[in-house]
Amino acid sequence: MQLKVINTGFFKLDGGAMFGVVPKSIWHKLNPPDENNMCTWAMRCLLVEDGNRIILIDNGIGNKQSEKFFSYYYLHGEDSLEKSLRAAGVQYPDVTDAFLTHLHFDHCGGGVHYEGDKLVTTFPRATYWTNEAHWQWAIQPNAREKASFLKENLLPIQEHGQLAWIEDTKLSENIEIIFVNGHTEQMMLPLISYKGRKILYCADLFPSLGHIPLPYVMAYDVRPLQTLQEKEEILKKALVEDWILFFEHDPTYECCTLQQTASGIRHKDMFMLKEL
């Protein structure tokens, strides 16, 4: 089994939205904003080569949206999905499983692209994994999340016959799935057994190292109090079992371990995944 980090670029989101009720006088030290209060965030995906399966967890924002759309999110950096996969020795048709933690555009947009004027799936031989409850939530979005669920990212997967539901708590022998509901309905967090350790792909429960403290909950979350509860439960278990947290959005840090402090559970060691 091999794990490889797939960097798909950086984008910007409003710092206040990312840190919720935490005041800017505190959070600006964690991720300094620009003059428009926008902070840079990574879109860091994970490639899992597990036996005869090549599993890609999330796939970034893609490049098919309009110039106006990207003017809101400031996509930047040298990395892209295609470039990073190629560096990992993988072509689009090699991917057997496109696992989607949830269907917000910055997590699934790379899974569909234009060929001419037609929308096609990026991974032509892959099964695209979500779950039925979240799919229904995404294709009939509430007003709060409507801007994050884009039909052009979703419907082509179904139209090409590649959509499948996760109906268990395992994707494979080495990948368990934790379901959480605070950020959005039935977001899925892969918990990967690797080299005798467990690695939690944090998606948007802990978008970055700075979101480990319990009150640091994004304003994007549909059920912030449930996020608080989910964070607390998972952090306690992660501490006891010595999990590694893998961050999808932290602009600097890929991974960390945890420790108990007087202020609560906090990060301990930060490192790159390849250092394991």
What is residue 11's predicted lDDT score, i.e. its pLDDT? 98
What is the pTM for the complete model shown?
A: 0.98
Average pLDDT value for the chain: 97
Domain boundaries, the chain: 2-275
Give per-residue pLDDT as tens, 164-207: 999 999 999 999 999 999 999 999 999 999 999 999 999 999 99
What is the distance between the alpha carbons of residues 220 and 100, in angstroms, rounded to a whole number?
18
Give per-residue pLDDT as tens, 100-123: 999 999 999 999 999 999 999 999
The token pair that represents 220 in the structure block: 């994007």
96 HSE (CA, 13 A, CB side)? 10
Cα dihedral 267, 269, 273, 274, rounded to 10, equals 180
Under a CB-based contact definition with an 8 Å cutoff, are residues 26 and 97 in contact? no
What is the distance between the alpha carbons of residues 186 and 54, in angstroms, rounded to a whole number?
24
Give per-residue pLDDT as tens, 248-271: 999 999 999 999 999 999 999 999
What is residue 151's predicted lDDT score, i.e. its pLDDT? 97
What is the distance between the alpha carbons of residues 57 and 6, in angstroms, rounded to a whole number?
9
Backbone torsions φ then ψ of 86, nearest 5 degrees: -60, -40
DSSP character at residue 37? S
What is residue 201's predicted lDDT score, i.e. its pLDDT? 99
What is residue 264's predicted lDDT score, i.e. its pLDDT? 98
Give per-residue pLDDT as tens, 206-229: 999 999 999 999 999 999 999 999
What is the distance between the alpha carbons of residues 85 and 74, in angstroms, rounded to a whole number?
22
DSSP string of 78-126? Answer: S--HHHHHHHTT--GGG--EEE-S--SHHHHGGGEEEETTEEEESSTT-
What is residue 142's predicted lDDT score, i.e. its pLDDT? 96
Give per-residue pLDDT as tens, 25-74: 999 999 999 999 999 999 999 999 999 999 999 999 999 999 999 999 99
Residue 175: how many other CB atoms lie within 10 Å: 23
* Residue 99: band (very low, low, confident or very high) from pLDDT cuts 50, 70, 90: very high
Give per-residue pLDDT as tens, 150-168: 999 999 999 999 999 999 9
- To the question of domain 2-275 being in CATH 3.20.20.70, the answer is no
What is residue 103's predicted lDDT score, i.e. its pLDDT? 98
For helices 132-139 and 151-159, angle between their N-to-C axes, nearest 10 degrees: 130
